[in-house]
Amino acid sequence: MTKTIKRIVLASRPAGAPTPSNFRLEEAALPALPDGQVLLETIYLSLDPYMRGRMSDAKSYADPIRIGDAMVGATVSRIKQSRHRDWRQGDIVVAYSGWQSHAISDGSDLRRVDPAIAPISTGLGVLGMTGFTAYAGLRNIGHPKPRETVVVAAASGAVGSVVGQLARIGGARAIGIAGGTDKCAFVKNELGFDTAIDHRDPDFARQLAEACPDGIDVYFENVGGAVWDAVLPLLNDFGRVPLCGMISHYNDNAAAEPSIDRLPASMKVIQQKSITVRGFMNVEFIDQHPAFLEQAAAWIADGRLKYREDIVDGLENAPAAFIGLLEGRNFGKLIVKVSGER
Ligand SMILES: NC(=O)c1ccc[n+]([C@@H]2O[C@H](COP(=O)([O-])OP(=O)(O)OC[C@H]3O[C@@H](n4cnc5c(N)ncnc54)[C@H](OP(=O)(O)O)[C@@H]3O)[C@@H](O)[C@H]2O)c1
């Protein structure tokens, strides 16, 4: 039986982009398993942009990680030992174990994963939080109609890849924005978007306008910054903007460099074109989660919903992979393989 656990803790808070020195790999003794609890062994760890916010002590919707505490995060885990009547040794679950090889849970935060539906790693991506975010934001806020134009940024990533495919399934045109020719080719050729535009191309804004001759009806916002600047003039009257995230700003360091004030220009267009911009957190739609799981599993089975995972081997490589996520180095849903599936 395991005696020690490995974990990655927050060593210091980043100023701007995180660096390896903000993280520390530690070993700790495994506590005895209390009655009514389960011991989880992490198989896969999800790396997600929101973790950058938790590394900061700025006021937010969630408490910051304390210095010296393990980084937080969702995992696909195996129940290694159970002293809980509802959970059996060997069960595979989605948990919230954080950046650790093992964790103890009272079972209240666990969701069973059915390995018969899809590979278990999908519990963190297309069949997990990111797939659900795409579904909830598009369905409840974007409301795309057939033949409307839906644009999504970070289109090869975990959320964006699902947004565009769901828009297509509903009969809308899907335009993806991604960084680089390989990601754009994947978005168009593998995921089946109508087209994809490279935001790193100096001619990006003109190419986006050319790809949207009828304007943009729904812009699913994942990125902000220069991508928002290019989208804004193309939005149609009564356009809808599910505001999911703004990853291009997560490493902003206001103390070091003031950022561009986009507010007046954005508000002017939003008012004059009667646009709805609605921020959201996926959890506010959690009652729709069972319907999402059923629907997404069916779309995966019939080949209409595809996914790509970027799996990095070894917990010790999580910090570098996470730093890369904020620079666009991941290609697909970023996951760390912490231990073997069997
Ligand atoms: N509201 C919610 O409940 C919720 C839930 C989950 C995620 N989110 C948000 O959804 C967004 C996407 O998350 P994800 O998990 O799907 O990540 P992801 O797309 O799998 O990975 C992040 C991608 O963002 C792009 N990116 C990074 N820095 C950028 C920059 N400066 N400018 C433009 N693009 C940049 C990169 O793609 P390219 O190389 O293509 O640029 C990178 O690969 C994030 O903003 C995240 O915070 C929100």
- In tens, the pLDDT along 283-295 reads 999 999 999 999 9
* CATH number of this structure's domain 4-125+308-337, picked from the four choices 3.90.180.10, 3.40.50.2300, 2.130.10.10, 3.20.20.80: 3.90.180.10
37 in contact with ligand 1, CB cutoff 6 A: no
Mean pLDDT of the chain: 96
57-84 mean pLDDT: 93
Q: What is the pLDDT of residue 1?
A: 60
**CB-based contact 245:221 (threshold 8 Å):** yes
Where, residue-wise, is CATH 3.40.50.720 in the chain?
A: 129-284
Three-state secondary-structure class, residue 210: helix
Whether the per-residue pLDDT at 255 is higher than 80: the answer is: no
**Residue 114 CA, ligand 1 centroid: distance in Å:** 27
133 in contact with ligand 1, CB cutoff 6 A: yes
281 in contact with ligand 1, CB cutoff 6 A: yes
**For ligand 1, mutation pick of 177, 222, 227, 250 (most atoms within 8 Å of CB):** 222
Residue 62: pLDDT band with limits 50, 70, 90: confident
DSSP secondary structure string, 8-40?
A: EEE-S--SSS--GGGEEEEEEEPPP--TT-EEE
Domain spanning 129-284, CATH class:
alpha beta
* Nearest ligand 1 atom to alpha carbon 334: 20
Q: What is the pLDDT of residue 278?
A: 98
Q: What is the pLDDT of residue 139?
A: 98
Q: How far apart are the first and last CA of the chain?
A: 16
* Nearest ligand 1 atom to alpha carbon 279: 1
Minimal-distance CA residue to ligand 1 atom 42:
328
Q: What is the pLDDT of residue 257?
A: 77
Q: What is the pLDDT of residue 254?
A: 73
* Tens digits of residue pLDDT in 89-132: 999 999 999 999 999 999 999 999 999 999 999 999 999 999 99
Q: What is the pLDDT of residue 2?
A: 63
Whether the per-residue pLDDT at 258 is higher than 90: the answer is: no
φ, ψ at 186 (rounded to 5°): -65, -45
Sheet with 235-243: strands ordered across = 195-198, 173-178, 149-153, 216-220, 235-243, 276-279
Whether the per-residue pLDDT at 60 is higher than 90: the answer is: no
The closest of 127, 79, 129 to 106, measured between CA atoms, is 79
* Tens digits of residue pLDDT in 167-198: 999 999 999 999 999 999 999 999 999 999 99
CA dist 291 → 124, 160, 252, 335 (Å): 17, 20, 37, 25
The pTM assigned to this predicted structure is 0.96
Where, residue-wise, is CATH 3.90.180.10 in the chain?
A: 4-125+308-337
**For ligand 1, mutation pick of 46, 122, 139, 159 (most atoms within 8 Å of CB):** 159
* Tens digits of residue pLDDT in 2-25: 689 999 999 999 999 999 999 999
